[in-house]
Amino acid sequence: MDSQHYLSELFSLDGRVALVTGGSSGIGRGIAQALARAGASVVVVARKEAELTATVEELQALGCRAARVSADLGTRDGVRAAAEQAVEAFGEPDILVNCAGINLRPPMSELDDEVWDTTMALNLDAPFLLGRRFGPAMAGRGFGRIIHVTSQQAHRAFVQSGAYGVSKGALESLARSQAEAWSPYGVTVNTLVPGFVMTPLNRRLSSDPEKVAALAARTMVGRNGLAEDFAGAAVFLASAASAYVTGQSVFVDGGFSVH
Protein backbone atom coordinates (compact mmCIF):
# COMPACT_ATOMS: atom_id res chain seq x y z
CA MET A 1 0.00 0.00 0.00
CA ASP A 2 1.49 3.39 -0.89
CA SER A 3 1.72 6.19 1.62
CA GLN A 4 -0.99 8.31 -0.05
CA HIS A 5 -3.45 5.46 0.21
CA TYR A 6 -2.54 4.86 3.85
CA LEU A 7 -2.86 8.56 4.75
CA SER A 8 -6.16 8.75 2.96
CA GLU A 9 -7.56 5.75 4.90
CA LEU A 10 -6.62 7.49 8.12
CA PHE A 11 -7.53 11.08 7.40
CA SER A 12 -9.60 11.51 4.24
CA LEU A 13 -12.99 13.13 4.71
CA ASP A 14 -14.19 12.23 1.22
CA GLY A 15 -17.95 11.66 1.21
CA ARG A 16 -18.40 13.24 4.65
CA VAL A 17 -20.64 16.21 5.39
CA ALA A 18 -19.52 18.80 7.94
CA LEU A 19 -21.38 21.65 9.61
CA VAL A 20 -19.12 24.36 11.03
CA THR A 21 -20.67 27.09 13.18
CA GLY A 22 -18.70 30.30 13.15
CA GLY A 23 -17.15 28.99 9.93
CA SER A 24 -17.05 32.43 8.33
CA SER A 25 -14.26 33.94 10.44
CA GLY A 26 -11.10 33.24 12.39
CA ILE A 27 -10.59 29.75 13.78
CA GLY A 28 -13.89 28.43 12.38
CA ARG A 29 -12.97 29.58 8.90
CA GLY A 30 -9.59 27.86 9.22
CA ILE A 31 -11.30 24.65 10.33
CA ALA A 32 -13.96 24.85 7.57
CA GLN A 33 -11.23 25.19 4.97
CA ALA A 34 -9.22 22.29 6.42
CA LEU A 35 -12.21 19.91 6.49
CA ALA A 36 -13.25 20.93 2.97
CA ARG A 37 -9.74 20.47 1.57
CA ALA A 38 -9.62 17.04 3.26
CA GLY A 39 -12.70 16.09 1.23
CA ALA A 40 -15.78 17.02 3.28
CA SER A 41 -18.76 18.95 1.93
CA VAL A 42 -18.93 21.85 4.35
CA VAL A 43 -21.83 24.04 5.46
CA VAL A 44 -20.75 27.19 7.30
CA VAL A 45 -23.21 28.85 9.68
CA ALA A 46 -22.96 32.40 11.04
CA ARG A 47 -24.92 35.67 10.84
CA LYS A 48 -23.15 38.01 8.40
CA GLU A 49 -23.92 37.27 4.74
CA ALA A 50 -20.84 38.96 3.28
CA GLU A 51 -18.35 36.88 5.29
CA LEU A 52 -20.34 33.69 4.66
CA THR A 53 -20.39 34.32 0.92
CA ALA A 54 -16.67 35.14 0.85
CA THR A 55 -15.90 31.90 2.73
CA VAL A 56 -18.01 29.74 0.42
CA GLU A 57 -16.49 31.38 -2.66
CA GLU A 58 -12.99 30.80 -1.28
CA LEU A 59 -13.73 27.11 -0.68
CA GLN A 60 -15.33 26.65 -4.10
CA ALA A 61 -12.33 28.32 -5.73
CA LEU A 62 -10.21 25.61 -4.08
CA GLY A 63 -12.42 22.99 -5.77
CA CYS A 64 -14.34 22.16 -2.56
CA ARG A 65 -18.06 21.64 -1.97
CA ALA A 66 -19.40 24.34 0.34
CA ALA A 67 -22.66 26.01 1.31
CA ARG A 68 -23.74 28.63 3.82
CA VAL A 69 -26.57 29.29 6.23
CA SER A 70 -27.12 32.72 7.70
CA ALA A 71 -28.61 32.37 11.18
CA ASP A 72 -28.42 33.79 14.67
CA LEU A 73 -27.35 30.89 16.89
CA GLY A 74 -27.95 33.05 19.96
CA THR A 75 -31.63 32.03 20.08
CA ARG A 76 -33.10 28.54 20.31
CA ASP A 77 -35.38 29.18 17.33
CA GLY A 78 -32.39 30.44 15.38
CA VAL A 79 -30.46 27.24 16.12
CA ARG A 80 -33.38 25.03 15.13
CA ALA A 81 -33.93 26.93 11.87
CA ALA A 82 -30.19 26.85 11.08
CA ALA A 83 -30.03 23.09 11.59
CA GLU A 84 -32.93 22.43 9.21
CA GLN A 85 -31.55 24.81 6.58
CA ALA A 86 -28.08 23.29 6.89
CA VAL A 87 -29.25 19.75 6.03
CA GLU A 88 -30.84 21.04 2.82
CA ALA A 89 -27.41 21.58 1.27
CA PHE A 90 -25.73 18.16 1.54
CA GLY A 91 -27.90 16.12 3.97
CA GLU A 92 -27.32 15.21 7.63
CA PRO A 93 -23.83 16.06 8.90
CA ASP A 94 -21.29 13.39 9.89
CA ILE A 95 -19.10 16.06 11.48
CA LEU A 96 -20.34 18.91 13.69
CA VAL A 97 -17.93 21.67 14.69
CA ASN A 98 -19.20 24.16 17.27
CA CYS A 99 -16.90 27.14 16.86
CA ALA A 100 -19.23 30.18 16.98
CA GLY A 101 -18.53 32.05 20.18
CA ILE A 102 -18.46 35.45 21.83
CA ASN A 103 -16.39 36.90 24.64
CA LEU A 104 -17.99 40.05 26.09
CA ARG A 105 -15.62 40.58 29.07
CA PRO A 106 -17.37 43.02 31.44
CA PRO A 107 -15.78 43.22 34.91
CA MET A 108 -17.26 40.50 37.15
CA SER A 109 -19.06 43.03 39.37
CA GLU A 110 -20.85 44.49 36.34
CA LEU A 111 -21.75 41.18 34.68
CA ASP A 112 -25.49 41.56 34.14
CA ASP A 113 -28.19 39.04 33.21
CA GLU A 114 -28.05 39.99 29.56
CA VAL A 115 -24.31 39.32 29.14
CA TRP A 116 -24.66 36.05 31.05
CA ASP A 117 -27.66 34.87 28.99
CA THR A 118 -26.20 35.98 25.64
CA THR A 119 -22.92 34.20 26.39
CA MET A 120 -24.55 30.96 27.51
CA ALA A 121 -27.02 30.96 24.61
CA LEU A 122 -24.33 31.05 21.91
CA ASN A 123 -21.34 29.40 23.61
CA LEU A 124 -23.17 26.58 25.41
CA ASP A 125 -26.87 26.21 24.49
CA ALA A 126 -26.28 26.20 20.71
CA PRO A 127 -23.69 23.38 20.89
CA PHE A 128 -26.06 21.42 23.15
CA LEU A 129 -29.05 21.92 20.82
CA LEU A 130 -27.07 21.06 17.69
CA GLY A 131 -25.64 17.99 19.40
CA ARG A 132 -29.13 16.86 20.40
CA ARG A 133 -30.35 17.45 16.85
CA PHE A 134 -27.53 15.59 15.06
CA GLY A 135 -25.83 13.31 17.63
CA PRO A 136 -28.49 10.57 17.87
CA ALA A 137 -28.67 10.23 14.06
CA MET A 138 -24.86 10.00 13.88
CA ALA A 139 -25.04 7.23 16.49
CA GLY A 140 -27.77 5.51 14.46
CA ARG A 141 -25.51 5.55 11.38
CA GLY A 142 -22.54 4.30 13.42
CA PHE A 143 -20.22 7.23 12.66
CA GLY A 144 -20.00 10.79 13.88
CA ARG A 145 -17.52 13.40 15.01
CA ILE A 146 -18.40 16.33 17.25
CA ILE A 147 -15.72 18.94 17.86
CA HIS A 148 -16.31 21.82 20.25
CA VAL A 149 -13.97 24.81 20.31
CA THR A 150 -13.41 25.88 23.90
CA SER A 151 -10.66 28.04 25.41
CA GLN A 152 -7.83 27.97 27.89
CA GLN A 153 -10.41 29.83 30.02
CA ALA A 154 -12.19 26.50 30.49
CA HIS A 155 -9.13 25.66 32.60
CA ARG A 156 -8.03 28.93 34.17
CA ALA A 157 -9.05 32.56 34.58
CA PHE A 158 -7.57 34.95 32.00
CA VAL A 159 -8.41 38.63 31.21
CA GLN A 160 -11.84 38.85 32.85
CA SER A 161 -13.02 35.34 32.16
CA GLY A 162 -16.47 36.11 33.61
CA ALA A 163 -19.34 34.31 31.90
CA TYR A 164 -17.11 33.31 28.98
CA GLY A 165 -14.82 31.08 31.04
CA VAL A 166 -17.85 29.47 32.66
CA SER A 167 -19.46 28.77 29.28
CA LYS A 168 -16.26 27.16 27.97
CA GLY A 169 -15.78 25.07 31.12
CA ALA A 170 -19.34 23.81 30.74
CA LEU A 171 -18.76 23.11 27.04
CA GLU A 172 -15.89 20.77 27.94
CA SER A 173 -18.23 19.01 30.38
CA LEU A 174 -20.85 18.78 27.62
CA ALA A 175 -18.23 17.11 25.41
CA ARG A 176 -17.64 14.46 28.08
CA SER A 177 -21.40 13.88 28.58
CA GLN A 178 -21.94 13.52 24.82
CA ALA A 179 -18.87 11.29 24.52
CA GLU A 180 -20.23 9.03 27.24
CA ALA A 181 -23.59 8.80 25.48
CA TRP A 182 -22.55 8.28 21.88
CA SER A 183 -18.99 6.88 21.75
CA PRO A 184 -20.27 3.26 21.93
CA TYR A 185 -22.00 3.98 18.61
CA GLY A 186 -19.02 5.40 16.72
CA VAL A 187 -19.52 9.06 17.60
CA THR A 188 -16.49 10.65 19.22
CA VAL A 189 -16.73 14.03 20.92
CA ASN A 190 -13.69 16.18 21.69
CA THR A 191 -12.74 19.79 22.20
CA LEU A 192 -10.04 21.89 20.59
CA VAL A 193 -8.57 24.33 23.09
CA PRO A 194 -6.99 27.45 21.57
CA GLY A 195 -4.60 29.68 23.47
CA PHE A 196 -4.34 33.25 22.15
CA VAL A 197 -5.18 33.39 18.45
CA MET A 198 -5.02 36.51 16.28
CA THR A 199 -8.66 36.84 15.09
CA PRO A 200 -11.41 39.50 15.03
CA LEU A 201 -12.70 38.09 18.38
CA ASN A 202 -9.84 39.69 20.30
CA ARG A 203 -9.27 42.72 18.07
CA ARG A 204 -8.71 44.94 21.13
CA LEU A 205 -5.92 42.79 22.58
CA SER A 206 -4.41 41.82 19.23
CA SER A 207 -4.08 45.45 18.13
CA ASP A 208 -1.80 46.22 21.09
CA PRO A 209 1.74 45.22 19.96
CA GLU A 210 3.12 45.10 23.53
CA LYS A 211 0.37 42.76 24.74
CA VAL A 212 0.72 40.63 21.60
CA ALA A 213 4.48 40.25 22.21
CA ALA A 214 3.95 39.49 25.91
CA LEU A 215 1.41 36.77 25.07
CA ALA A 216 3.69 35.27 22.40
CA ALA A 217 6.47 35.09 25.00
CA ARG A 218 4.19 33.00 27.24
CA THR A 219 3.99 30.24 24.62
CA MET A 220 6.75 27.68 24.09
CA VAL A 221 6.71 27.99 20.31
CA GLY A 222 7.31 31.75 20.60
CA ARG A 223 4.33 33.14 18.69
CA ASN A 224 0.58 33.55 19.02
CA GLY A 225 -1.85 31.24 17.23
CA LEU A 226 -3.19 31.57 13.69
CA ALA A 227 -6.42 30.12 12.29
CA GLU A 228 -4.44 27.70 10.12
CA ASP A 229 -2.81 26.17 13.20
CA PHE A 230 -6.08 24.30 13.81
CA ALA A 231 -6.16 22.55 10.42
CA GLY A 232 -4.27 19.37 11.34
CA ALA A 233 -5.94 18.81 14.70
CA ALA A 234 -9.39 19.45 13.22
CA VAL A 235 -8.89 16.99 10.35
CA PHE A 236 -7.55 14.40 12.81
CA LEU A 237 -10.54 14.77 15.16
CA ALA A 238 -12.97 14.69 12.20
CA SER A 239 -11.42 11.62 10.57
CA ALA A 240 -11.36 7.86 11.01
CA ALA A 241 -7.93 8.23 12.65
CA SER A 242 -9.44 9.54 15.90
CA ALA A 243 -11.89 6.64 16.44
CA TYR A 244 -10.35 5.82 19.86
CA VAL A 245 -9.98 9.44 21.03
CA THR A 246 -13.08 10.75 22.79
CA GLY A 247 -14.03 13.07 25.63
CA GLN A 248 -10.63 14.76 25.33
CA SER A 249 -9.48 18.36 25.33
CA VAL A 250 -6.78 18.87 22.71
CA PHE A 251 -4.77 22.04 23.34
CA VAL A 252 -3.61 23.82 20.20
CA ASP A 253 -1.82 26.67 21.93
CA GLY A 254 1.91 26.54 21.20
CA GLY A 255 2.50 25.35 24.76
CA PHE A 256 0.81 28.41 26.36
CA SER A 257 -1.06 26.27 28.91
CA VAL A 258 2.00 24.37 30.10
CA HIS A 259 4.57 27.17 30.18
Ligand X SMILES: NC(=O)c1ccc[n+]([C@@H]2O[C@H](COP(=O)([O-])OP(=O)(O)OC[C@H]3O[C@@H](n4cnc5c(N)ncnc54)[C@H](OP(=O)(O)O)[C@@H]3O)[C@@H](O)[C@H]2O)c1
**DSSP 8-state class, residue 169:** H
Which residue, 12 or 198, is less far from ligand X as judged by CB?
Answer: 198
Nearest to residue 190, comparing CAs of 136, 239, 119, 229? Answer: 239
Which residue, 72 or 92, is less far from ligand X as judged by CB?
Answer: 72
> What is the contact surface with ligand X in residues (CB under 6 A)?
22, 24-28, 46-48, 51, 72-74, 99-103, 122, 149, 151, 194, 196-197, 199-202
Alpha carbon distance 248, 175 (integer Å): 8
Query: E strands, the chain, where?
Result: 17-21, 41-46, 66-70, 95-98, 144-149, 187-194, 249-252
Identify whether 164 is a catalytic site residue: yes
Which residue, 12 or 34, is less far from ligand X as judged by CB?
Answer: 34
Give the distance, in angstroms, between the CA of residue 210 and the centroid of all CA atoms in the same chain. Answer: 28
Minimum distance between the CB of residue 220 and ligand X, rounded to whole angstroms? 17
Half-sphere exposure of 243 (CA within 13 A, CB side): 10
Task: Select which of 6, 164, 185, 244 is catalytic.
Answer: 164
Minimum distance between the CB of residue 21 and ligand X, rounded to whole angstroms? 6
Pairing status of strand 66-70 against strand 17-21: unpaired
Which residue, 170 or 183, is less far from ligand X as judged by CB?
Answer: 170
Minimum distance between the CB of residue 161 and ligand X, rounded to whole angstroms? 11
Minimum distance between the CB of residue 91 and ligand X, rounded to whole angstroms? 21
Catalytic residues: 164
